[in-house]
């Protein structure tokens, strides 16, 4: 089935699911158990098709990029001799995983030295920065989880972890003036502020791998370990990037947002059409331009919104039907982030705004450590990854990201 055919099938599933809701609303009744099952099955198939469509479109984009620049994948790393292939780096890294630095050939040691991370004491007492291909795999896994890194948040990478101040200025309360002839103009200063990003350390916790698995040539050990460590780092970072307090830890986007709308009494587990309109207009129009505004919510909250219709019985949620078009709510795309609270009394359950004003800072590369002695009696090798990062909402004073709070009762 082609991508176009999958989009068409997804569109038909949407119409069928919508018909089920319309029938129940026309008859002024709730969905039956069978209808609920049919509806959920259609939505699940739509989501599955969306995943396939996104994957195929990303593959097509990558293929087009490589066709445009066929030599890009063969560019040697800094200090690396021309002709060194990714496979040679992977073989060297695999040997390091199984046998440690001492078990590597001189050529492999030299190759790995490009990625070495020094520690106190001898170099062999320290860890090794993950080779570039491995690092990219970890980053991909981190982006897969949660939603912050999949949003329009500003992701920046720094080589050092010292405090990074970001200047802000709010001059929105000031205007120019009308002056008469030969009249001196007034003075009006601009007030500046700053938000500081730090570098908090995240650990993957130790992953234990048996000698047998390390030595099994049928296992893609680089991808296996990258996936596990990336998943762990991705989960913990997304949690803090979403709900972190900002005190001795990253500030989450929920904490850094501003109240946009409180649900009326009875909306403890729901949201209505008018509330979504109010959420959009709680963000200044200046931020709603440029295509960086979107929704963010838990998947369970998305399920609630998918069932909302306007006065003409048209659903607010619309599937993207053309190449590259995202699914949308009131023409704004959304990002699912399951670290945001589900709809419940007083819950901050839906965000809307310009997420490019939310900053995520990554410091240097992910560091991988190989631990042998501690687990040798069990025939295992431990692997541990560290990452340093921070996040914070950079709000100059006009509150570019708003949250919806469900009612208390």
Per-residue pLDDT of the chain (409 residues), as tens digits, is 888 888 889 889 988 988 898 888 888 888 898 988 899 899 889 888 888 888 887 777 767 666 665 544 433 333 444 445 566 766 777 676 666 666 678 777 766 655 443 333 333 333 444 555 666 677 777 776 779 999 999 999 998 999 999 999 888 889 999 999 999 999 998 888 899 999 999 999 999 988 888 777 666 777 788 888 989 999 999 999 999 999 999 999 999 999 999 999 999 999 999 999 999 999 999 999 888 999 999 999 999 999 998 888 888 898 887 777 789 999 999 999 999 999 999 999 999 999 999 999 999 888 888 888 889 889 998 989 999 999 999 998 899 999 999 999 9
At 94 the pLDDT is 67
- State the chain's mean pLDDT as an integer: 84
Count how many domains the chain has: 3
- Among candidate residues 61, 77, 105, the one where a domain is terminated: 61
Claim to verify: residue 161 and residue 198 sit in the same structural domain: yes
User: Quick check: is 79 in a domain?
Assistant: no
Structure-block tokens of residue 65: 């990029």
Q: How far apart are CA 332 and CA 305, in angstroms?
A: 13
Residues linked to residue 389 through DSSP beta bridges, in sequence order: 200, 362
User: Quick check: is 230 in a domain?
Assistant: yes
State the sign of the Cα–Cα–Cα–Cα dihedral 155, 159, 162, 166: negative
Claim to verify: residue 91 and residue 238 sit in the same structural domain: no
- Indicate the helix (H) or strand (E) that contains 165: strand 164-169
Alpha carbon of 164 to those of 194, 244, 247, 319, 362: distances in Å?
A: 10, 18, 16, 40, 11
Q: What is the pTM of this model?
A: 0.76
Q: How far apart are CA 392 and CA 361, in angstroms?
A: 9
The bridge status of strand 401-405 relative to strand 258-262 is parallel
Claim to verify: residue 40 and residue 159 sit in the same structural domain: no
Farthest-apart Cα atoms in the chain, separation = 90
Claim to verify: residue 119 and residue 148 sit in the same structural domain: no
At 120 the pLDDT is 35
Claim to verify: residue 259 and residue 408 sit in the same structural domain: yes
Q: How far apart are CA 299 and CA 336, in angstroms?
A: 6
Claim to verify: residue 256 and residue 374 sit in the same structural domain: yes
CA 156 to chain centre: 13
- Indicate the helix (H) or strand (E) that contains 297: strand 293-297
Claim to verify: residue 273 and residue 367 sit in the same structural domain: yes
The bridge status of strand 358-371 relative to strand 328-329 is unpaired
At 118 the pLDDT is 34
- Decide if 320 contacts 372 (C-beta within 8 A): no
CA 313 to chain centre: 33
Write the pLDDT tens digit of every residue in 214-257: 777 666 777 788 888 989 999 999 999 999 999 999 999 999 99
Claim to verify: residue 250 and residue 334 sit in the same structural domain: yes
Write the pLDDT tens digit of every residue in 324-363: 778 999 999 999 999 999 999 999 999 999 999 999 999 9
In 3D space, the residue among 99, 77, 102, 72 whose CA is nearest the CA of residue 88 turns out to be 77
- Indicate the helix (H) or strand (E) that contains 68: helix 33-68
User: Quick check: is 244 in a domain?
Assistant: yes
Contacts with 346 (C-beta within 8 Å, 6 or more apart), sequence order: 405, 406, 407, 408
Structure-block tokens of residue 244: 């972190």
CA 74 to chain centre: 29
User: Quick check: is 50 in a domain?
Assistant: yes
At 217 the pLDDT is 60
């Amino acid at each position: 089935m082609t991508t176009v055919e999958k989009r068409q099938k997804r569109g038909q599933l949407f119409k069928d699911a919508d018909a089920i809701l319309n029938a129940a609303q026309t008859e002024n009744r709730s969905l039956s158990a069978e209808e609920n099952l049919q509806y959920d099955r259609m939505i699940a198939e739509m989501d599955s098709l969306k995943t396939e469509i996104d994957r195929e479109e990303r593959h097509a984009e990558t293929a087009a990029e490589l066709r445009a620049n066929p030599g890009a994948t063969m560019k040697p790393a800094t200090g690396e001799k021309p002709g060194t292939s990714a496979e040679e780096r992977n073989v060297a890294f695999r040997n390091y995983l199984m046998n440690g630095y001492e078990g590597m050939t001189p050529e492999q040691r030299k190759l790995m030295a490009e990625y070495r991370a020094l520690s106190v004491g001898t170099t062999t007492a320290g860890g090794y920065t993950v080779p570039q291909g491995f690092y990219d795999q970890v980053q991909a896994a981190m982006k897969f989880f949660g939603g912050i890194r999949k949003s329009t948040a500003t992701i920046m990478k720094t080589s050092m972890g010292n405090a990074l101040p970001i200047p802000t200025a709010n001059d929105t309360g000031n205007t120019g003036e009308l002056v008469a002839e030969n009249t001196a103009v007034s003075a009006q200063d601009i007030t500046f502020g700053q938000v500081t990003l730090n570098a908090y350390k995240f650990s993957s916790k130790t992953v234990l791998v048996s000698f047998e698995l390390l030595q099994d040539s049928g296992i893609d050990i680089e991808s296996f370990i990258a996936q596990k460590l990336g998943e762990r780092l991705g989960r913990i970072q997304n949690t803090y990037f979403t709900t972190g307090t900002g005190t001795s830890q990253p500030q989450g986007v929920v904490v850094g947002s501003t109240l946009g709308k409180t649900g009326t009494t009875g909306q403890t587990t729901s949201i209505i059409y008018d509330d979504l309109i109010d959420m959009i207009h709680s963000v200044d129009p200046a931020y709603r331009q440029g295509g960086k505004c979107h929704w963010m919510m838990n998947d369970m909250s998305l399920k609630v919104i998918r069932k909302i219709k306007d006065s003409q019985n048209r659903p607010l949620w619309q599937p993207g039907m053309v190449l590259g078009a995202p699914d949308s709510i009131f023409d704004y795309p959304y990002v699912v982030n399951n670290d945001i609270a589900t709809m419940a009394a007083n819950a901050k359950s839906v965000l809307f705004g310009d997420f490019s004003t939310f900053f995520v800072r990554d410091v240097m590369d992910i560091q991988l450590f190989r631990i042998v002695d501690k687990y040798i009696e069990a025939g295992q090798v431990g692997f541990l990854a560290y990452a340093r990062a921070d996040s914070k909402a950079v709000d100059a004073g006009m509150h570019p990201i708003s949250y919806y709070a469900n009612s208390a009762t």
